[in-house]
């Protein structure tokens, strides 16, 4: 069964989700903070060791006009770094509206704990990739 991890990359935090390619579903896992303005590579390494994914998916930010969003370069760099560090295939998935959908789906829960939005957005990114 192909397990995959999905990432919602941001400049301050990274949402992470785990999913099954067979079922096309994903579950929010956690939100990682940055360490010295860099991804928390140790925590990412720990998650890879725990879940043994066959591939990784990173959200690719686009504007509604189909232009890449301002933070797209950071997300693509993060994807390249994941591949370089861990040697796994890394795919990019259009993440348009995932954060908005995450806020909407989580409702009051998001207001109490905004970090849940990032891992839920990662779940949506992974499911988007499964459906493409």
pLDDT tier for residue 27 given thresholds of 50, 70 and 90:
very high
pTM above 0.85, yes or no: yes
Res 25: pLDDT: 94
- Summary mean pLDDT of the chain: 88
Q: Where in the chain does DSSP place strands (E)?
A: 3-9, 13-20, 25-33, 55-60, 90-94
Res 101: pLDDT: 66
Domain range 3-59+71-131, CATH architecture: 2-Layer Sandwich (3.30)
Domain ranges of the chain: 3-59+71-131
Q: Structure tokens of 98?
A: 């995932």
pLDDT tier for residue 107 given thresholds of 50, 70 and 90:
low
CB–CB of 59/69 below 8 Å?
Answer: no
């Amino acid at each position: 069964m192909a397990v995959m991890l999905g990432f919602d990359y941001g400049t301050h935090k990274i949402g992470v989700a785990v999913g099954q390619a067979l079922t096309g579903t994903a579950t929010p896992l956690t939100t990682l903070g940055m360490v010295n303005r860099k991804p928390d590579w140790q925590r990412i390494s720990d998650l890879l060791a725990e879940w043994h994914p066959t591939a990784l998916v990173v959200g690719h930010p686009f504007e509604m006009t189909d232009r890449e969003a301002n933070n797209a370069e950071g997300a693509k760099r993060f994807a390249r770094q994941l591949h370089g560090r861990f040697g796994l295939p890394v795919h990019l998935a259009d993440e348009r509206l995932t954060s908005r959908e995450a806020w909407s789906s989580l409702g009051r829960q998001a207001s109490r704990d905004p970090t849940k939005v990032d891992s839920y957005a990662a779940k949506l990114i992974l499911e988007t990739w499964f459906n493409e």
